[in-house]
Amino acid sequence: MRLGVRCSSGGTKPPCAVRGQRRAGPPSERAPMKKAAGAGEVTGIGISLWVPFVSGFVAESSSDDAHESKARIRTTSLTRIDKPSGSARSSVMSFARSLGLLVLLLASSVQAAPRFATVFSDHMVIQRDRGIKVWGFGARTGDKLYVRFAITTVPCKIESTGRWSARLPAAKASSTGRRLELLNGDEVVDAAGDVLVGEVWLAAGQSNMGFTVNAMKRGLPDAEDWISTAEYPAIRMRRVNDPVLMNRKAGAIDLMVGSWVPISPESVGRMSAVASVCARVMHERLNVPIGVIDVSWGGKPIEPFIPREAFSSPLMRKIVELSDSDQLEDLRKLRGGVFVRNPQGRPGAIFNARMAPITEFGVRGFLWYQAESNCGRSEDPRDYRFKMTALADGWRGRWRQADLPLYYVQLPSFPTATGWIRMREEQRLAQSIPHSGMVVTIDVPGEGIHPPDKISVGRRLARLALGKTYGMDVTNSVGPRYAGHRVVGGEVRVSFTNANGLMVGHKPGVLSARETSGALDWFELADGQGNWHDATARIEGMEVIVSSPLVTNPMAVRYACDVEPQGFNLYNAAGLPASPFCSDLGLLAWEDHGAK
């Protein structure tokens, strides 16, 4: 066991302010405190426990999919964590009792002090123009707690559990670093320095969201320049790596460790490429600080990111029922089911570990890049759009704001991944979720499951947010989207939204697409028997006219519905690609290759 000394920045290092130092004068007039190098404290909640010798508990890092995993605590079997038997159960229970006793002894031997929740630490960004909820732990009988930020001091409400909270008034955006302080009477007992006010986004998903700038650099030459110019002290990233241990069905009270990190050429390499690029573009356009909390977890399906109470539809309730009863094979075979490979894949598990502790922290919205682990081998992509609805409803419910935007990334092309074809259509249909938007990446080049060009993806996410949330360049934020079609004289006339300046285009590297000569490609028509045939297509104004000599009475039309369509080339004048689509979902076949 290793004991971690906890500080307000969330890491195992000296604290940013000496707890218990007394100052003269009322709370609103005291001078800033100086940091005392080398000082620290251990609190009951701040103890970091690593138990690598306990089989059955899994705590994986942010890049923990099959390609990038580095487990901190490994497991030998899924059943051990869920249902130990015989001597194994007895050993685990005995160890748990011993560990609990040790923690109690440690806690009783250390003078606890009120503190901020771990998310409140040095270099943080607070959401502007909204009331600021601040909370923490360790309050004791007789404590008189106050929170001070800038020139405002407010009293705290203290609960019997020791949890305390306060609400500061909304603040305007500011790039001036200020202190957030917790006072107990005349004493400052915790503090976070260099706090900015701006826009805060929460980024989630699996390994393509967690894909770091360093990983991008290995496959994308343009990343070198991106890194060397990444001097943005007003952009701060907060990585959450908390593991799923015993809180699979219940939310954690607080995050374990972590810190906010300003973007610089030295720090950006360890950050999410998509999220950091998106933040940089938004910062350059909005000219306010940007904060991003990254809770992504590689190799995980959507289910563990959804709050358990949001599993309310018949399909979602069945998923929870089968998971909770350990009928994992039946769950995998269920239409729209999920392949649970480990405890982190259980419904709500990642939400409970990484998101539940911060649902009172103000955010502007959510960025989502996931779906690979819901449409691979032995993974059924059908009905994913309903899971997306549950995700949006669940997050908005927990943050208590029904209009929080959810902007997500449609899967790119990937050779042999036939499930991705159906998944892209499920994602397209999920655009019916209110206050949502989708970024198309079918034209982003790159081999493997992790295309290295995350610059294009991040830029498109930022354009979407700037248009839909901030009202900037609205007409240039989204590519063409299928709106409907009609059959006229054997031809199919396809209409689109966001169709200003439809063009045949080509995307050179990380740049936006440019108009080129040539014909549209990858349009197909279905005949009366539901068989698909290649078709020719041409642009007429804001429509695309599709025809085939083999199909005289078209039944349906589709575009770019292939594993890896080469020559994908329908764009609008903004240089943004059209989404793949199929006008009849029943004719978009899906086969479970993992069942063979």
What is the per-residue pLDDT for 390?
A: 98
The more confident residue out of 475 and 550 is 550
The pLDDT score that the predictor gives to residue 89 is 40
Report the distance separating Cα 18 and Cα 59, nearest Å: 32
Mean pLDDT for 465-487 is: 94
pLDDT at 593: 54
Average the pLDDT over each of 293-297, 358-362, 368-372, 473-477 and give the range with the smallest value.
Answer: 473-477
**Token reading at 584:** 């009849």
Calculate the average pLDDT of the chain. Answer: 84
How far CA 26 is from CA of 143, 152, 432, in Å, comes to: 16, 12, 53
Residue 247 pLDDT level (bands cut at 50, 70, 90): low
Candidates 8, 313, 284, 272; CA nearest to 138 is 8
What does the pLDDT read at residue 446?
80
Tokens, residue 451? 């295309």
pLDDT at 389 over 80: yes
Q: Which residues, including other chains, have CB under 8 Å from residue 214's CB and lie 6 or more apart?
A: 269, 270
Q: Where in the chain is the domain with CATH 3.40.50.1110?
A: 203-476
Is pLDDT of 559 > 60? yes
Q: What pLDDT sits at residue 21? A: 37
Residue (of 554, 64, 582) closest to 354 by Cα position:
64
List helix spans (H) across 137-288: 207-210, 213-219, 223-228, 273-286
pLDDT, tens digit, 9 for 90 and up, residues 40-61? 333 333 333 333 323 223 333 3
Q: Which helix (H) or strand (E) holds 262?
A: strand 260-263
Q: What is the pLDDT of residue 50?
A: 34
Would you give the distance in Å from CA 213 to the centre of its chain? Answer: 16
What is the C-alpha separation between 449 and 166, in angstroms, rounded? Answer: 45
Q: How far is 359 from 192, CA to CA, in rounded Å?
A: 19
CB neighbour burial string for 58-71, b if at least 16 within 10 angstroms, e if fewer: bbbebbbbeebeee
Of 140, 97, 135, 107, residue with least CA distance to 119: 135
Q: What is the pLDDT of residues 106-152, one digit of tens each?
A: 443 344 799 999 999 999 999 999 999 999 999 999 999 999 999 99
**Considering the chain, what percentage of its residues have pLDDT values greater than 90?**
73
Could you tell me what percent of the chain has a pLDDT over 70? 80
Q: Is 224 exposed, middle or buried (0-12, 13-18, 19+ CB in 10 A)?
A: exposed
Q: Model pTM?
A: 0.84
Q: What confidence tens digit (pLDDT) does each residue in 200-239 have?
A: 999 999 999 999 999 999 999 889 998 999 999 999 999 9
Closest CA to 193 of 24, 45, 7: 7
Specify the CATH number of the domain 203-476: 3.40.50.1110
Using pLDDT thresholds of 50, 70 and 90, give the confidence band for residue 159: very high
In which band, very low, low, confident or very high, does the pLDDT at 12 lie, cut at 50, 70 and 90? very low
Q: Are 72 and 51 in contact (CB under 8 A)?
A: no
Predicted confidence (pLDDT) at residue 526 exceeds the cutoff of 80: yes
pLDDT above 80 (res 153): yes
Q: How far apart, in Å, are the Cα atoms of 71 and each of 57, 68, 87, 257, 352?
A: 10, 10, 26, 17, 19
